[in-house]
Structure 1
């Protein structure tokens, strides 16, 4: 299959996740085109059998580049197999309110862009104080201290469950083939 994987990233974890998916699917024999969505505005998505879009949540919103891309290509995206990879630290936890909030944000994203992903994978991101500005570092330290009291607040920590991510993508791919 020929698949497009587009992503928007702020600190780099979503790019790492998109690249991991692309490498894995390529190794499985699929043709892959990987690109930041900001560089793919004129992309003809009809050339592909399916699309994976990945973006991360910050202050309750995805990156503008992802929202803009999804809105611009909504009609095409809605007519083909698609998977949304939603990356957030909330996906690392088990708090029911956090998961309801993730669902609400995704619903609002769909209303704003006109795209309803065929499937969605909520994927845990990373805490990366080494990449934050002073303001973001202050906010993120407070959030992480409340959610993961044992963590070293001065060290980067990856929460992404790579095996779970692989299983989610495999499930989507298998459903495409049916």
Structure 2
């Protein structure tokens, strides 16, 4: 089967948890998978040895991770030369009108400004990990919740991730790799990623 590299950036562990679930599905479908958490300067990754890429990054304070974005821009040619999938993890995706890729402002903005041209994209709601936040972060996130939808921030840790959605995305990749079903059209050119 195929050799897949999963590259991700995760601040609080939810994106890594999503990557691990996807990895188990790809392994179960017979694909060989390597994972790399993009932190700091990552320059010694041999991208040519892989058949496909799965990229994921969480959003923090309105932006995808700096190290992740830097790596993608430095390696966009190699990443775009093979089937490349991308997903964004953010709390905005917990809302019904922001869960589809073309509705999610963080995902659409990233794709507009990035050199990455994935064949498929997805967005997943993240987790609210109150126990890991300091006083300032708790106040800021409470304000964000009030401004974004008028709700109060959860009073305890809460996971919003739709695991069935995560599994369907991984299954799509597994099936497309097994069947060689790549049309060559990029998500940026499809309705999936347009704002």
Q: Same fold (TM over 0.5)?
A: yes
State the Cα deviation string for residues 19-45 of structure 1 (Å, max 9, x = none): 111122112221110110237431111
**2:88 alignment partner in structure 1:** 86
> Alpha-carbon deviation of 1:128?
0.8
The C-alpha deviation readout for 1:57-78, integer Å capped at 9, x for no partner, is: 1222110111011011100011
Pairwise CA RMSD: 2.3
Distance 1:69 1:156 in 2: 31
SS at the partner of 2:109? helix
Distance in structure 1 (CA, Å) of the matches to 2:10 and 2:32: 23
1:55 to 54, 57, 60: 57
Residues 175 and 28 of structure 1: is their aligned pair in 2 closer, same or farther, counting only changes over 3 Å?
closer
* Aligned pairs (5 A) from 1:13-162: 13-38=14-39, 40-95=42-97, 99-110=103-114, 114-144=115-145, 147=149, 149=151, 153-162=154-163
What per-residue deviation string (whole Å, max 9, x for no partner) do you get for residues 153-173 of structure 1?
221110111111111221233
Asked if the contact 1:55–1:63 (Cα under 8 Å) also holds between the matched residues in 2, the reply is: yes
Q: In structure 1, what is the equivalent of residue 184 of structure 2?
A: none
Any unmatched runs of 5+ in structure 1? none
Question: 2:86, 2:118 within 8 Å by CA — same for their partners in 1?
Answer: yes
Q: How has the CA–CA distance of structure 1 residues 109 and 87 changed in structure 2, closer, same or farther, with 3 Å as cutoff?
A: farther
Q: TM-score, normalised by structure 2?
A: 0.79
The runs of 5 or more residues in structure 2 that have no matched partner are 182-195
Paired with 1:90 and 1:117, the residues of 2 have a C-alpha distance of 21
CA–CA distance in structure 2, aligned partners of residues 139 and 102 of structure 1: 18
Cα distance in 1 between the residues matched to 2:77 and 2:87: 19
Q: Which has the higher contact order (CA 8 A, sep 6+)?
A: 2
Secondary structure at the residue paired with 2:35? strand
